[in-house]
Amino acid sequence: MTDNQTIHEIAFSIGANLGNRLSALRYAYMRLQDAIPDLACSPVYETEPVGYLEQPSFLNCACKGTTSLPIDEILSLIHIIHAELHRKSRPQWHEREIDVDILIYGSTIIESEQLNIPHPRMHQRAFVLQPLSDLAPSLIHPTYNLSILELLNRCDDKSGIILHCSAEELIQG
């Protein structure tokens, strides 16, 4: 889908609300960092579920780095991570052992049945914008042409977001 020589800024959201949530986030981050060596991680937040509310709270973080990997290789890696962490298929917005979403891939815009980039609801979700803003406040959303911090400041989502741990605590275990 993209030229292998082009370097893209890439951002992910990682969340989990079943099992050892922090361990799942750590594993997903480390696996992504294997493919994207400069990947940095935000602090981890405990957040209320969205959509389906009868479930445990989530732990969420964001990651950002640069890559020349094609988007299909990144998507394949995400599917592998989901399988390695035994993610089960459930209805949208239900519990997750792990959920890794690509938020931004440079200025690329993709709209297909398999993938939407930038993430189509990230601008409406404080649990995505807060950790990403901690990590990359000036990163520009390719559709809205606003920084992540500007999107966070405009976001109407007032759901509970509580700092759980620092990025260092996540990474070091």
Question: Rounded distance, CA 45 to CA 16, Å?
Answer: 11
User: Which residue is catalytic, options 21, 26, 101, 157?
Assistant: 101
User: Between the ranges 44-53, 88-97, 129-138, where is the mean pLDDT highest?
Assistant: 129-138
User: Which residue is catalytic, options 21, 26, 96, 125?
Assistant: 96
The stretch 134-149 carries a mean pLDDT of 96
Q: Can you list the domains of the chain with their CATH numbers?
A: 8-172 (3.30.70.560)
Better pLDDT: 4 or 151: 151
User: Which residue is catalytic, options 26, 87, 134, 157?
Assistant: 87
The stretch 34-56 carries a mean pLDDT of 89
State yes or no: is 96 an active-site residue: yes
Position 135 scores a pLDDT of: 95
- Owner of token pair 């509970």: 160
pLDDT band (50, 70, 90) for residue 2: very low
User: Which residue is catalytic, options 21, 34, 38, 99?
Assistant: 99
State yes or no: is 99 an active-site residue: yes
State yes or no: is 101 an active-site residue: yes
Cβ atoms within 10 Å of 160's Cβ, excluding its own: 11
State yes or no: is 26 an active-site residue: no
